[in-house]
Structure formats: C-alpha cells, structure tokens
A and B are shown apart, each in its own frame.
Chain A
Amino acid sequence: MIGQLPALQVVVPLLAAPLCVVLRNGTLAWLLAVATSWAALAMAVVLTGQVLAGGPIAYAMGGWLPPWGIEYTIDSFNVLILLIISGSAAAILPFARHSVADEIAPEQHARFYSAFLLIMTGLLGMAATGDVFNLFVFIEISSIATYAAIALGRDRRALTAAFNYLVLGTVGATFYLIGVGLLYAVTGTLNTADLASRIAPLLESRTVIVGFAFISVGLMLKVALFPLHQWLPNAYTYAPSVITTFLAATATKVALYSLLRVAFAVFGAGYVLERLPTEAILLAIAGTAIVVASTTAIFQKDLKRLLAWSSLAQVATIVLGVGIGNAQGLAGALLHMFSHALTKGALFMAAAVFALRLGGTSLERLQGAGRRMPWTSAALVLAGLSLVGVPLTASFVSKWTIVLAALERGWWPVAGFILVTSLLTLAYVVRVVEALYFRPSAADAPAREAPLSMLWPLWLMVAGTFYFGLNSSIPMRLATQAAALLLGVAP
C-alpha cells in the first residue's frame, strides 16, 4: 500500500471527482471533497517523510518499466509541490462551503466540487509525473477543469474571463505539445530521465533548441509571466472566490515547477543556464514584471484584482530567484513558492470572506470593516505583512534567501532591486489597511463576522506564514535539497 502512494496521490482525487457528480447532493459532494483533500495531504506528508529519510522514489505506473511505461518520480523537489497543492486544498475545502453556497447555484454544487477535485488531480499529476507527455495530459486536465470552474462565477464577466483563459491556455498547452513533439522526433522517447540521456549529444541541434523554446513559452503562459499574463487578472477577479484562492495558491507555481523540471532534468543546468542566455532573459523579464505588476496593483480599486496583480509580481520574484542561477537562488525561489502559496492563500481567503459578508470586494465596500469584522480584517493585515516580506513571516525568509543569492554572485543591483520593489508591495497593502481601519464605513454597511468554519482555515494559513517565518528549517531543507538536485550538485 505504502509503495503505491505515488500513484494513489493522483488517482484518489481523480476517482473522487466523478463520484461527486454521481452523488448529486452538494453537501455530500463537499464532504467527499474534504475527505479526499485530507487524504491527499496525508499521502503527501508520508511521501515527504519517505523522501527525507530515503531519497527519491521511482514508481512504474501499471508495472510497465520505463522508458516504455509511464514513470512517476517523487523527490525533494516535487514533494514540496505536492505539499503545497494538497495542503492548500485541505485548508480551502473546509473553508469553501459558505462561500460556495453564496456564490454558486445549488444545483451546480456537486459539479463545482467535482471541478475542484479535477483541478487538484491535474496539478498533483503535473507534480508527480516523470513523463513529458503525461505532463501534457495533466496540464489539460487541470486547465479544462479550471475553465469550467471559472465560468461558474456569478458575475457574467466570468464567462469572458474563462473564454479568454481557454484560448490563451490552449495556445500554451499546444506550444508545449509542439515542443515535446520536436523532442520526440529526435530522441524517440518521452520519459524524462531517458530523454535527458538521449538528448545530451543532440543539444546543439536546431530541433532541440526550437523544442526548448516552444516548451518554455508554452509553460510561461501557464505561469502567467509578463508579458504572457493577460488572462490572469480577469480570471482571478471573476472566478468563484474559492477557485481563485486555490488557483492563486497553487496553479502558477505548479506550472513553473513543470518548466523547471523539464528544463533542468531534461536539458540540464549547464545547457539552460550557461549555453543559452536564460539568466539575462529571465532577469530582464522578471524585473520588468515585478515593477509593472506591482505598480498596477497599487492603482486597483478591487481587492481581488489587486491581489491578482500582486500574484503576477510575486511569481516574477520567484522567476527572478531562478534567474540568479545559483543553488541559493533556486532554493530561494522554491521557498518563495511555498511562502507565497501560504500568504496568497490566506489573502484570497480573507477576500472570499469579504465577498460573502459585504457582497463584493471593492475597496469602497471594505471601508471601516476593521471594526465590524475584526478577525477577518486582522488576518488580512497579517497576511499582507507577509506579502511585503516583513521579518518573522515566511516571505521574509524566502526573500532573504533570494537576496543572499544575488549577493553571493556579486550582483548588488539585483539585491537592491528586490529590496526596493518590496516597497511597492507595501504601498498597496497600506491602501487596503487604510480602507479597513482608517476610513469611515457606510451607514448601512452590513456588520457580521465570518462563520467559524471560514475563520479557522483562514487563521490556520496566517499562523502557517508566521510559523514558517520563525522556524523555516523543514521547507529550507527541502528547498536546498531540491535546488541541489536540479543543478546536479551535492547538497
């Protein structure tokens, strides 16, 4: 049983998803989804223990040996991603019920939870698989379920947002598939490890370079890295709040994980970082993205949209960490994935509570809510501090690591850039704080604190950001090991 965990991790939610539809009843479907997410988290935790104790696990799907069969490889890199996905789902699903009851028509509830589980399946699969074509399949599973889930949003603009994402997402997935096709044409294999050994003598061939380009651009679209980000702000703003929370905590990071995995495991660190001008490209793009996205976030009038733009900036910060190109930078990037998942999860949860209680998330509606909804507001402020990267929060540790990486390479301007741009984050967080606490509320403003079932997951996430800000040893260890693994050096 324990030996089958790498497969079960993905298969259990995959089977639970259609069961939700069969159950038809919203409450039952919700219970099943919660149970599934907790089971997934438990499996991820056990896998983490195994990897930390005994190193990477290889699993041959259906008993077919690689390179012919599909192989799942669990190592310290994707175990961190599995933890992020299943942990977010396990916190968000218990939280979801009131928000879903408010935002989704009752007859759609079962289908909503089914879509949620399918997104989760897709993301978990993307993280677990060791096969580049299988990766494409899971990208599509998660994407198609995401389009459906976004379209369930109660605002009619959710439909255009979903359609927009569908078009761009399909372009991205297709690009990825073209890239994989080109690699398959020259190597005749789809297994990551096998590809890596066969591609080594062919690295200078034009086909391989073009394949790498297609794969990178396709996945970058999923990462929503500037300038391929247009789909994201609307999708996050108009999607049901619960879906936004889950996507913001996981989706773009898993896409970035896939990109890093393919780039480093197949093409190799030397090729990606030294042969190709990746560092320069990533630094330029990420730097522009951070400035543009953060500045745009400052001028948003709606909390969800503001947080969506902030997500773009934070993902760019992760990419910047990768672009620094040493083990420390990569470890910092992975840590930032983890801390940002916690932080942004908490922030969007708070936004979901405001959407439920105040009927919307425009900053105008939030005015004076600090007094009427003290617990939610305080959670939002604390998570906001983590977003800025204030000491004692998880983001401080990850940003610290990235800045040290830049210093290690002697790149003082990059280090300064990261520090200075966190002040842009401060600017938009302060705007939210001012609205909550220092502006008078409207006379007829509704005044009710969130239900307890929403408050505890929210505060759990907030507590997580502070716990890992005070004691970062576990994520730090996983991230350092993963970075060493990707770069092919001893940790």
Chain B
Amino acid sequence: MTGPEIWLAATLAIPLAGALLIALSGDWPNFRDAISLLSATGLFAANVMLVLMPDHAGTLALAPFLPGAPLVLKIEPLGLMFGLLASGLWIVTTIYAIGYMRANEEANQTRFFACFALALASTMGVAHGGNLITLFVFYEALSLTTYPLVTHHGTPEARRAGRVYLGLLVGSSIALFLFALLWTWAVAGTLDFKPGGILAGNASAAVLSVLLLLFVFGVGKAAVMPLHRWLPAAMVAPAPVSALLHAVAVVKAGVFTLLKIAVYIFGLDLLATLDARDIVLAATGFTILAASIVALREDNLKRRLAYSTVSQLSYIVMATIVASPFAAAGAGAHLVSHAFGKITLFFCAGAIYTAAHKEKVSELNGLGQRMPWTMGAFALGSLAVIGLPPTAGFLSKWTMFQGAIAAGDYALPIVLGLGTLLSAGYLLPVIYRAFFLPPARSGLAATAEAPLPMRVALLFTAAGCIALFLMPDLLTSLPLEAIRGRR
C-alpha cells in the first residue's frame, strides 16, 4: 500500500478498532476512556497526514459493491476539511465527554463510547467517500450509529425522539436521496465525483431541477424545513452527542453532502442555470427566518441552540445553491466556523446542566458570577454564531455575503442580515441574564464551575473561534482548492 492508501484506510480502521476495543473493555472504565482518547488522537493524526499528501491525490478501493459502482475512498479538498474538522473536534469532545458522563453518572457508558466511535467512522466515510454511492452508504451508517446515542436514556421520551430521528433521516434519505441517486445513475451512468459535474448534457433542465429538489430535501441531515424536526428531537441525547454530532458531524455531513453534490455532481456552472434554484433559495430563506423566530421563543437552552443550528445550516445550503465559486467557498468556511461556535455553545449548555442542573434560559440569571469561564466561553461562541468579529463566524458570513453580491444575488445578503439580527436576539439575552441580572433567590448558591475536563474542552473551542479569525486562510483555502482546482 502507498502512503495515501494507508492513511485513507486508517481513517476508517482507527475508529472501528477503537469501537471494538471500547466494546470489549466495558469493565475497566479508565482503559475504555483511554482507548477513546487514543482513537480520537490517532484519527486526527491520520487526517493531518492526508492533508500533507503531495497534490492531495490518492484513492483506496474498499469493495466491489455493485457493478460499476465500487466503494472507494479518495483524497479531496472538501473532504479533507470536513475530516480534519470532525476528527479534531472529536479529541476535544472525548475529553469533555469523559468529564460529563462521569459527573452525571450516566448508565451504559460503554455502549455510548462505542457508538460514538462508530459514528466517527461513518463521518470519515462521508468525508472521504470517493463517489456518491460511497458517501450515501456512510451517510446511512451515520444515521444508524447515532440512533443509539439519541435514545441513550431509554425513557419513553428518548424512544419517541429516536423514532422521529430515524424516521425523518432514514425516511428522507431512502425515499428522496436514494431515489435521486438512482436517477442520477440512470441518466449519467456513473456516480463518480468529477470536477465540473457528471450531469451536464445528460438530462433535460426539468429533470435536473427535480433532481436538485430531491437531493436538497433528501439529504435530511441538512435540516431544510420541513425536514428539520429530527434535530430538536435529538436534543434528548447527552450533551457531548448534541455537541459533536448534532452541531458538527451529523448536521455538517448533511450540508457537506450537498456541497459535494453541487460541486462534483451538478457542477456550479450547471447549477446556476436551474430554475429549481429559486425554490431551494426560498425554502432555505424561510428556514433561516422561521427557525430563528422559533429559537427566540424557545426557553429550553439546548432546543434553542438546535433551532439556531437549523437556521445556520440553511445559510450554508443557500450559499451553495447561489452557485458562485466565492459563495460556495464561503459555504465551506461557514461549515467550519459554525462548527467551532456551536460546539462551544453546546459544551457550555452541558456544563451548565452538570454544574447547576439548569436546562432553561429563564433559569440562568446570575450564573455568570458562579461559572465565569463557562459563560465567558458561551459569550465567545455566541459571537461566532451571530457572526461578529473577532470570531471566525464573521469571516465566513462575510465571504458568503461577498460571493452572493458578486453573483448578482440579493436574496442571500438580505436574509443573511435579518438572520444575523435574529441570532443576536436569541443568543445575547442568555449572556445578559447570566452576567447582568441578579440570581434567583433559591438555587445557585452551591453552584461552582463544571469539572476540569469539561472546562478545558469548552475553553479550547472558544479559543478556536478566535484563532480561526486570525488565520483566515485555514477557513477558505481548502474549499477554494476544491472549486478552482489546485494552483
């Protein structure tokens, strides 16, 4: 095997082996948690090695699968970006999760960490999938491996949420995404990712429009309304799941899939000519505003953050569909910057739950004095999600904004502006309550900061929001390479 093949194989093998060892080490929690941490670090290292591969070239055949549609992994800039993001944040989340699961004395921790590793293996398959069928296979695996994490508590509420979760994600992917995939296969005769797309000249504009709609709504993980309900439902899961999977891996797998489809299946030039684009722009614009308004009125902190994610995902979809190179690069950048911001917010929500047992925004008055580090990080994460300097969120929103203007598209800038105001409206009051309102008479007195591993994790990601602002090339270089080709 050559270098690229080894490291591509490692991105699947490390988390899979990790899951196996975790499953076998149930009786020794310290050993199990060490394995989790080791797999996460190893996976990140494998992804770094992939970035260092010359020319970003290399493929690995996994299985023959179907005639003409093998399972392959391939090094590709967008995938590198997503792979680095998910595996890097997995390290942080593992540190956090060890603190969280122990402090909250959660049951079934072995199953939890094993499924977590399996979910990361699936995410790597999505990131490095070398053709659409491979991506689809791992996309489905990601839904299935995260299901036990959503239903983790086994309460009737968790089971119900699990049904919504699987029903919507697997339902949309089989009924719409798989359908679109088969249709693409039927008209194009291939499912390979090619720069410039594979559909041009193979189907009428009407068919292409239908395909676009099937893809956008079939990739339920992108949570474009009305297929967003699974995300708030998934909030019954423990906080580390909400943080890494439902702010980064799963939801970003959705928008990442759409970005790949736009760039490599349709091709941006072809995409820009399709009529169905208007429908998608309208749907995503509606999602951005509607989800933000729901978030304004939602008192449960994690659910408020979930609706915020729904609206932020639609920015990325919208910028992708605008189909100008710069807007698409902005979409890729926002995928990363929002990941850092939102994972920080979820880390904080979990820390608040662990230390103060509060889940509602209205109960957070005065918490800033008790948990200054956590709430400080929350403030930084909020700035990143709203899109204000000095955080990465500002840069990515700016790039999307500019890209849309340059393409002569004014819907995105308008929605972007309104959405930013609304996001300030649902995030800033949380900070205001924590720092400027007096605490309620009962409670809080005995509250201290969350355990150290959790604090380390959330401060690290908060610092990441600022670091990316200072090093903007990290955000945009890989997406631009995917769209323009390597120079």
Residues of A within 8 A of B (CB): 385, 389-392, 397, 400, 403-404, 407-408, 415-416, 419-420, 422-423, 426-427, 430, 434, 437-440, 470-473, 476
Contacts and interface: CB of A to CB of B under 8 A. Distances in A.
Q: How large is the interface on B (under 10, 10 to 19, 20 to 34, 35 or more residues)?
A: 20 to 34
Interface stretch (B181-189, B276-284, B323-331, B386-394): B181-189
Contacts of A438: 151, 154, 158-159, 162
Contacts of A397: 66
Contacts of B206: none
B182 A415 contact: yes
Contacts of B171: 423, 426
Name the residue among B65, B71, B159, B174 with the largest chain A CB count within 10 angstroms: B174
Given A416-B179, A420-B175, A423-B170, A430 B185 contact: no
Nearest to B174: A419
A422 B148 CA distance: 21
Nearest to A471: B64
Given A385-B144, A430-B166, A408 B186 contact: yes
**3 closest residue pairs by CB, A with B:** A391-B137, A470-B63, A438-B154
Interface in B111-165: 133, 136-137, 140-141, 144, 148, 151, 154, 158-159, 162-163
Given A419-B178, A423-B170, A438-B162, A390 B64 contact: no
A423 B179 contact: no
Nearest to A391: B137
Given A392-B137, A434-B159, A415 B151 contact: no
A407 to B, nearest CB: 5
B64 A473 contact: yes
B67 interface: yes
Nearest to B71: A470
Contacts of A427: 167
Contacts of B174: 389, 419-420, 422-423, 426
A419 B162 CA distance: 21
Contacts of B133: 391
Given A392-B137, A426-B166, A400 B182 contact: yes
16 contacts: A391-B137, A392-B137, A407-B182, A419-B174, A419-B179, A422-B174, A423-B170, A426-B167, A426-B171, A430-B163, A430-B166, A434-B151, A438-B158, A470-B64, A471-B65, A476-B67
Contact of A416 (B71, B167, B175): B175
A404 B191 CA distance: 14
Interface of B: 63-67, 71, 133, 136-137, 140-141, 144, 148, 151, 154, 158-159, 162-163, 166-167, 170-171, 174-175, 178-179, 182-183, 185-186
A79 B63 CA distance: 26
Given A385-B144, A390-B140, A423-B175, 4 more contacts: A391-B133, A423-B171, A434-B151, A438-B151
Contact of A419 (B63, B141, B175, B186): B175
B443 to A, nearest CB: 32
A437 B166 CA distance: 15
A438 B158 CA distance: 9
A462 to B, nearest CB: 15
A407 B180 CA distance: 11
Contacts of B167: 423, 426-427
Nearest to B179: A419
B179 A415 contact: yes
Nearest to B177: A419
A440 B65 contact: no
A439 B182 contact: no
A53 to B, nearest CB: 21
Given A391-B137, A419-B179, A471-B63, A434 B162 contact: yes
Given A434-B162, A471-B63, A473-B64, A426 B183 contact: no
Nearest to B153: A438
A430 B144 CA distance: 11
Nearest to A408: B186
A391 B136 contact: yes
Contacts of B162: 430, 434, 438
A427 B65 CA distance: 26
Nearest to B69: A400
B144 A390 contact: yes
Contacts of B141: 391-392
B101 to A, nearest CB: 18
A303 B68 CA distance: 38
Contact of A404 (B63, B175, B185): B185
A440 B153 CA distance: 11
B9 to A, nearest CB: 15
Contacts of A476: 67
A404 B186 contact: yes
A69 B224 CA distance: 68
Given A422-B174, A423-B170, A470-B64, A403 B151 contact: no
Contacts of B154: 437-440
A92 to B, nearest CB: 28
Contacts of A420: 174-175
A408 B187 CA distance: 10
Nearest to A470: B63
B148 A400 contact: no
A419 B66 CA distance: 18
